[in-house]
Amino acid sequence: MNPGLINTGKKLPMSRNQMLTFAAACIGLALLFVFDATFDSFTMQIFKLCAINIILALSLNLINGFTGLFSLGHAGFMAVGAYTCAILTMSPEQKEVNYVLQPIVPWLAHVQLPFLPGLLIGGFLAGFIGWLLGVISLRLRDDYLAIATLGFSEIIRVLLTNAQTVTNGALGLKGLPRFTTMWWAWGSAILITVFLVFLIKSSYGRAFKSIRDNEIAAESMGVDVFGMKVLSFTISSFLAGIAGGLLAHYLTTIDPKQFIFLKTFDILLIVVLGGVGSITGSVIAAIAVTISMEALRFLDGPLNLGFVATTGIPGLRMVFFSALLMVVVIYRQQGLMGKAEFSWDALARIGLLPRRGPKSGKGGR
Amino acid sequence: MDFQTFLQQFVNALSLGSLYALIAIGYTMVYGILRLINFAHGDIFMVGGYLAFYGVSTFLMPWWLAVIVAIALTTIFGVGLERVAYRPLRDSPRISIMISAIGASFLLENLAIVLFDARPKAFHVPEFFATNFILGGVHIASVSLVIPVVTAVILAVLLWVVHSTRVGMAMRAVSTDIEAARLMAIDVDRIVSITFAIGSALAAIGGIMYALKYPRLEPLMGIMPGLKCFIAAVIGGIGSIGGAVLGGLLLGIIELMTVAFLPELTGYKDAFAFVLLIVVLLVKPTGLLGKNQGEKV
């Protein structure tokens, strides 16, 4: 329920929650301007990566958390988005530099699109492939679906490695323009977050969640289970493709090895830590994990704990994160947020905001 | 392609297939009992290979002793992994336990990078396995003969255990219905531990034989064989030991034969298994030898 509807008796143009949201949005926008002006380039790189990881985590959470389908194919869809966007936006001169072993196929050699169309086409292609694979594989459930989607993602990677005249094979693509500015990254992340919040609240979102909670009950209530699964899978692939395109022009070099299925596990880590089925959780966890991945880089270097000193163990950082994943799955399965979402009323309940009058107690569930 | 080349490829394919079969058995037994894809199985395979390596190179054991010690330690390790990572989640949703399995695999890989070093290590192959002999014009490394023989012996023992002993009967009971088995006074935890012990021992044997065949150890070496062997288990019909062997052999033969006869497809080698998996899942989801379990509402 929109709390604004309940408070109409007060004749306010906006409910308190709407005002708070509006204020938060303004502060957020102002912060982005401040960050854009003050961050040095290293901090800015991490800040942008936060946004890309938010998109990835949200898109994986849509399919795993909200629709209850365990898909492990995200790395593949990212790869499709990244490669499509990179090839479409690369200048013909740069293509000549890149394709040294075999020249690129003629129909792609002179294509050069601006970033937005490239990004969108990459997303749509990833979505289309997601739709196709969804139609094929969504009859499977649970672990079979997981292994089939993982298989698709590996097939995509093998195809990318071998399609020398289109993707430049194992050499990868270098010297992509640095299109992913802070505004692109955070703009897309915010847009996609808002889209997902509305999607989850809509009848589609309720259908997704009903499939997650009980597929048979959902079907008997008239939910088109298969169609909804395919829809969720397609949207999720589309978003992964967009994130892939952003990532390509953030890193400025891509090669097929980056999109090995272990990449999906990195995203899964974020989703599980944040809470499987919580948008708020994914956003917070994406930011926290991205920053701590950088902050904990010292673990890989020389350590001196007073009683033991090491001379740098590369990989210790990832041991920490994988151990964290295990601990969370075993001791706190709901992650940070469980299925809960952020709301102003929740803040009021835990005492961070003054409570509202008893009249409005029903709002914002 | 003459007959001799065919035979040569066939011998290679047979040994690779037997290796796949051995690892696939571990997947199929764990899946049969817990309905869990043990993603860490491939990493247990890696641990087995490394333990044998350290037994020989650091502790200077004779190779047969190093193999026995490695198998024993890997078995304990596998049982311990089930205790720590899977048992606390046995009554949780399947997605949780699968995430735990992925996390365990992730952790083992990263630990291996830290402990064993990311750089590949050369595995010392004892002379007995390295000798080549020529049979009817076909070059055979003795390891290529040892692998199918070991697999056949293990398969025979395993089938006997599963079908003719009390433990095997208990395993079959737990795999049919875990709750009913518990009501029949079967110690489910013990049976699960035994299953993991057998699976891990097989993974260790597989890992060591893999290292004998391809003498190069890497922390991530278990990933691809692990995935392929799971696929082999699915193709054969997951839960069925005979199916796992059939699937493993089939996968090994298809993989090597395709590369041998259609060399232009070599780059796509790692994708065959996945394509095959998807075809099987779509055409006959229960696998070649699997039983239809029906949908439980």
Say yes or no to pLDDT of B294 above 90.
no
Say yes or no to pLDDT of B296 above 50.
no
Q: What is the rounded CA–CA span in Å between residue A166 and residue A99?
A: 9
* Chain A interface includes B277 (CB < 8 A): yes
Burial of residue A132, with CB atoms counted within 10 A of its CB: 0-12 exposed, 13-18 middle, 19 or more buried: middle
Mean pLDDT, chain A, whole residue set = 84
Return all residues near A134 (Cβ < 8 A) that are at least 6 apart. A229, A230, A233, A234, A237
Q: Which residues pair with A309 in a beta bridge?
A: A304
| Cβ–Cβ < 8 Å for B287, B238 | yes
Q: Which residue has the higher pLDDT, B7 or B169?
A: B169
Q: Which residue has the higher pLDDT, B168 or A2?
A: B168
DSSP string covering A52-99, please?
Answer: HHHHHHHHHHIIIIIS------HHHHHHHHHHHHHHHHS-HHHHHHH-
Judging contacts by C-beta atoms under 8 Å, the chain A residues touching residue B106 are 262, 265, 269, 318, 322, 325
Share of chain B above pLDDT 70, in %: 97
Assign A200 a pLDDT band (cuts: 50, 70, 90): very high
Mean pLDDT, chain B, whole residue set = 86
Share of chain A above pLDDT 70, in %: 90
Q: Which residue of B has its CA nearest to A335?
A: B96
Q: What is the pLDDT of residue A190?
A: 92
Using the structure block, give the residue that is written with the tokens 């990244």: A82
Burial of residue B82, with CB atoms counted within 10 A of its CB: 0-12 exposed, 13-18 middle, 19 or more buried: buried
- Measured between CA atoms, how close is A2 to chain B, in angstroms? 33
Tokens of A199: 């999607």
* Chain A interface includes B114 (CB < 8 A): yes
What is the mean predicted confidence (pLDDT) over A163-189? Answer: 87
Q: Which residue has the higher pLDDT, B175 or A77?
A: A77
Q: Which residue has the higher pLDDT, A278 or A109?
A: A278
For the CA atoms of B205, B209, B215, B220, the dihedral, rounded to the nearest 10 degrees, stands at -50
* Chain A interface includes B34 (CB < 8 A): no
Judging contacts by C-beta atoms under 8 Å, the chain A residues touching residue B282 are 136, 139
Find the range with the poorest average confidence among A49-53, A89-93, B217-221, B263-267: B263-267
Q: What's the sign of the alpha-carbon dihedral B239, B240, B243, B248?
A: positive
Return all residues near A3 (Cβ < 8 A) that are at least 6 apart. A15, A16, A17, A18, A345, A360, A363, A364
Rg (CA), chain B: 19
* Element (DSSP H or E) covering residue B180: helix B178-183
Judging contacts by C-beta atoms under 8 Å, the chain B residues touching residue A155 are 271, 274-275
CATH of B3-283, one of 2.60.120, 1.10.3470, 1.20.120, 3.40.30: 1.10.3470
Return all residues near A47 (Cβ < 8 A) that are at least 6 apart. A35, A39, A182
Find the range with the poorest average confidence among A342-346, B203-207, B223-227, B291-295: B291-295
Burial of residue B131, with CB atoms counted within 10 A of its CB: 0-12 exposed, 13-18 middle, 19 or more buried: exposed
CA-to-CA separations, A207 to A36, A60, A212, A338, B262, in angstroms, rounded: 39, 17, 9, 19, 48
Q: What is the rounded CA–CA span in Å between residue B285 and residue B276?
A: 12
Say yes or no to pLDDT of A1 above 60.
no
B residues 192..251 contacting A (CB < 8 A): 223, 227, 230-231, 234
B217 residue type, one letter: L
**3-state SS, residue B91:** coil
| Cβ–Cβ < 8 Å for B77, B200 | yes
Judging contacts by C-beta atoms under 8 Å, the chain A residues touching residue B271 are 154-155, 158-159
Q: What is the pLDDT of residue B293?
A: 56
**3-state SS, residue B216:** strand
| Cβ–Cβ < 8 Å for B102, B39 | yes
C-alpha B42, offset from chain centre: 7
Query: A168: closest CA among A254, A88, A89, A252?
Result: A254
**pTM (predicted TM-score):** 0.87
Q: Which one of A316-325, A335-344, B14-23 scores highest in mean pLDDT?
A: B14-23
Say yes or no to pLDDT of A130 above 90.
yes
Query: B101: closest CA among B271, B287, B292, B230?
Result: B230
Find the range with the poorest average confidence among A100-104, A249-253, B189-193: A100-104
Say yes or no to pLDDT of B292 above 70.
no
Return all residues near B231 (Cβ < 8 A) that are at least 6 apart. A147, A151, B247, B251, B273, B274, B276, B277
In chain B, domain spans: 3-283
In this predicted model, what pLDDT tens digit does every residue of A88-119 receive, in sequence order? 998 888 888 888 777 888 888 788 889 999 99
